[in-house]
Amino acid sequence: MALSEANFERSMQEIPPYLDKLNEPQRAAVMQTEGPVMIVAGAGSGKTRVLTFRIAHLLKQGVDPFSILALTFTNKAAREMRERIEKLVGGEARNLWMGTFHSVFARILRMEAEKIAYPRDFTIYDSDDSKSLIKTILKEWNLDDKTYKPGHVLSRISMAKNNLISSAEYISADELTGEDRKSGRARFGELFAEYEARCKRAGAMDFDDILLNTEKLLRLHPDVCHKWQHKFKFVMLDEYQDTNRVQYMITKRLAAVHQNICVVGDDAQSIYSFRGANIQNILSFERDYPDARVFKLEQNYRSTGTIVQAAGSIIKNNKNQLKKNVWTSNEQGEKIRVVRNISDNEEGRWVAQSIFEEKMRHRLPNKAFAILYRTNAQSRSFEEGLRKLNLDYKVYGGLSFYQRKEIKDVLSYLRLVVNPTDEEALKRIINYPARKIGSTTIDRIILLASEHACSLWDIVNSARKHPLLGSSTLALENFAIMMRSFQAMLTTHNAYNLALHLAKQTGLLKTLAEDKTVEGISRYENVVELLSGIQEFVEDDTSESEKGLAEFLQEVALFTDERKDDDPNRDTVTLMTIHASKGLEFPHVYVVGMEENLFPSQMALNDRQDLEEERRLFYVAVTRAEQKLTLSFATTRLRFGQILPCEPSRFIDEIDASFLDMDKSGFKKPSPAPRAETAYSPFQIKRNTGAGPQGNTPPPPDPDFKEGDISGLAEGMRVQHQRFGYGEVQRVEGDEDQRKATILFDQFGEKTLMMKFAKMRIVES
DNA sequence: TACTAAGCTCTTTTT
DNA sequence: GAGCTTAGTA
């Protein structure tokens, strides 16, 4: 049912009571339901609130939930929004078309699969599958995987796809192929084409294909396009600053008929350009839709004055941005604490201790605290620290449940049952549990499949016809018979019974049960949990959609989030990357690892654009905090298996000094010394003169030391290191970039240092 | 073919 | 340090 004229008129005049809680600009944005709308929302300004109320408002006006499309970036955001809307309007919210770009479009693609010549039950390759496929092709073609690093190849393919460049277009684009030739990867284009063909042959789509094929579907099939365009009367996009070109094209097309498109975003929080996000989308919305209404939400309700203003002082260093003036009427609050620790382990201990103290002093639950870091690998020292103090914590991200080996094994079997042409699934489990089908045989199968231009399964399924397979024929036949028996069950059994039978029949459960190590037991338990997850999925009757194995697999493939938490009421400290923290807020936030080369990441240092993105990331981190913010860094850190000296991040320096509280932490901010554009001068660390053991405090850095200027270093020499002082060289090994020196320091004992980063000089040859 | 030990590489962020 | 690949052995 469309919004009637009368309803619309009324909505413009009266303020419905359920919108009482919104402030003026928020309410205006909510009530402007017709036409293109852009909501530019600063951090903590109630962006999600506006979006949820807007959808609730539409529903209250009698708009059919099936005609509202709301797209988010993460499953978590979608789930949260659905729950909030449900609270406002009730069960109707279930029928909204709401989810991540990938999950919604995968659903559409499944319905329209035959139009783009894919099986209805196509497989979704995750990045591991994609990478493994690339590796397989490289091996077949005898290409060196050092020149063609699978990760790089994949990200370049992804970049092309996100910009709507097909392999054919890629190959005919001289600029792109020129780049490849220059870098010695002349066959990249062919590789791209082969990768595409192999995915197609396997009836599989990778993450990017889901978007790409949706775009293709709508562009090449006007009837289909017409249908969906008319279906979705209202289109809403969250985190618009992070959309890429394909997503932009799709949503633009979908909204073309009704023109009721509403985008919400904050250019200052655009942190996904590595995934193809195009900040231009938000910067040029008004050009695309000249009659667009723009609403700015600039009042921050989340954080203290200090945090809001400090965040402003950070982001003003970026050139590329929309003008905004984020402010708050909240109290000024505490200053930002900056802490130096002598090592990453010490940092973990200190942060845990600090959380413990704050918790006691202010009687706070664990969940009031979050530790945010740049990379997942940093979580370790904090986990240790928290464990020692018995503080319950939860690490988000990293390896999710569905990425575990044992889970992927079971899923691969199930994938193969649903879609026998799925090559990655087949390769994964054809010899697991071991059934005498070794790598030689697998290579031969791949070879035969290429020769016959058919799938691996076709070869396995007709093993007898291929003399090349020789002695493995029987093992292969048995495998094929078993798989066929599972496939036959698809029509007779539900997904849970099939999966349970399969897990027993293949010997998977037995193999896992035999392993009595701690990890082995947990693997077994995980598989059991997966099975009960399938059961839950099958028996869930809150939604109308089909509950088959294929549907389960699709949901799982796109659900890289945490699994449904074991106990959502557990009171835990949150540990996550800054990327994962977007959209969340915590009373106390610790942003840790604030070191040059780590945050900002080393890779971002050469390029202004990249550095600006890192800065936006820092902005995101800072604005997660409601009450108190702590920035911490270490002066040495274990990286690449060795201890490296670290300098404080330039970002600390960029915060207006008046917001920082440095004295308590034992050092003060230096006077802003003039410095060159490129070189970054670190803080002068004031020596801790307080009580307590002093033994291991490194001496202050000497600005005369030059990085990596130790070409003549050899065994037996005496050196002076910027931080560790005097020592004797024990060994020098490795070459060029990898050159390391093991030095026995007088005060600190033996350390191995990367010479590229080491700041030291030779005192005595 | 299967298993173990040693060696090598990669260190960003996620659907 | 971790994860993966390779080489070597049963």
Report yes or no: A441 and A469 within 8 Å, Cβ to Cβ.
yes
A712 vs A392, higher pLDDT = A392
A47 assigned to active site: yes
Buried b (16+ CB within 10 A) or exposed e, A117-147: ebbebbbbbbeebbbbbbebbbeeeebeeee
Angle at A187 between CA A186 and CA A192, to 5 degrees: 130
Distance A376 CA to C3 C1' (A): 15
The mean per-residue pLDDT over the stretch A598-602 comes to: 89
Task: Specify the pairing of strand A261-265 against strand A336-341.
Answer: unpaired
Q: Label the pairing between strands A369-373 and A586-591.
A: parallel
Query: Would the pLDDT of A689 be above 50?
Result: no
Q: Cα separation of A715 and A638, whole Å?
A: 23
A724 CA to B15 C1', in Å? 44
Nucleotide nearest to A74 (CA to C1'): B15
Helix (H, G, I), strand (E, B) or coil at A264: strand
At A467-496, the pLDDT tens digits run 888 778 888 899 999 999 999 999 999 999
Active site residue A764: no
Residue A620 beta carbon within 7 A of nucleic strand B: no
Neighbours of A535 (CB within 10 A): 16
Amino acid letter, residue A221: H
pTM score over 0.85: no
Protein CA A754 to sugar C1' B12 (Å): 20
Q: What is the pLDDT of residues A162-198, one digit of tens each?
A: 889 989 999 998 888 888 888 888 888 999 999 999 9
Instruction: Give a three-class secondary structure readout of A607-675.
Output: CHHHHHHHHHHHHHHHCCEEEEEEEEEECEEEECCEEEECCECHHHHHCCHHHEECHHHCCCCCCCCCC
- Across all strands, nucleotide nearest A400 (CA–C1'): B14
Using pLDDT thresholds of 50, 70 and 90, give the confidence band for residue A213: very high
Whether A640 CB is under 7 Å from strand C: yes
**Residue A258 near residue A233 (C-beta atoms within 8 A):** yes
- Whether A606 sits with its Cβ under 7 A from any strand B atom: the answer reads no
For residue A676, the model assigns a pLDDT of: 31
Q: Is the CB of A397 under 7 A from strand B?
A: yes
The whole-number average pLDDT for the span A64-74 is 93
Q: A372 CA, C5 C1': separation in Å?
A: 33
Give CA A149 to chain center in angstroms: 21
Which residues are within 8 A (CB) of A91 and not within 5 positions of it... i.e. 6 or more apart? Answer: none
Q: Is the pLDDT of residue A372 over 90?
A: yes
| Chain C bases near protein CB atoms (7 A cut-off) | 1-2, 5
Q: Specify whether A239 is catalytic.
A: yes
Which position has the token pair 């489990």?
A429
Instruction: For residue range A522-573, list pLDDT tens digits in order.
Output: 788 888 989 998 998 888 776 667 788 999 998 888 876 665 556 678 899 9
Q: Is the CB of A135 under 7 A from strand C?
A: yes
**Segment A329-342, tens digit of pLDDT:** 999 999 999 999 98
Q: Please, which positions of strand B sit below 7 A from a protein CB?
A: 1-3, 9-15
Calculate what percentage of chain A has a pLDDT beyond 70: 87
Q: What is the arithmetic mean of pLDDT over A707-724?
A: 71
- What pLDDT band is residue A703 in, cutting at 50, 70 and 90? very low
Instruction: Tell me, yes or no, if A347 is annotated catalytic.
Output: no
A146 contact to strand B (CB, 7 A limit): yes
Among the listed ranges A237-241, A547-551, A691-695, which one has the minimum average pLDDT value?
Answer: A691-695
Label residue A680 by pLDDT band (50, 70, 90).
Answer: very low
The spacing between the Cα labelled CA in A548 and the C1' in B4, in angstroms, equals 42
pLDDT at A731 over 90: no
CB of A58 closer than 8 Å to CB of A30: no
| Residue A21 bears catalytic tag | no
Q: Which nucleotide is nearest to A638 (CA to C1')?
A: C1
CA gap A450, A61 in Å, rounded: 57
Is A624 noted as a catalytic residue in this protein?
yes
Give the CA A39 to C1' B7 distance in Å. 54
CB of A141 lies under 7 Å from some atom of strand C: no
A177 CA, B10 C1': Å apart: 27
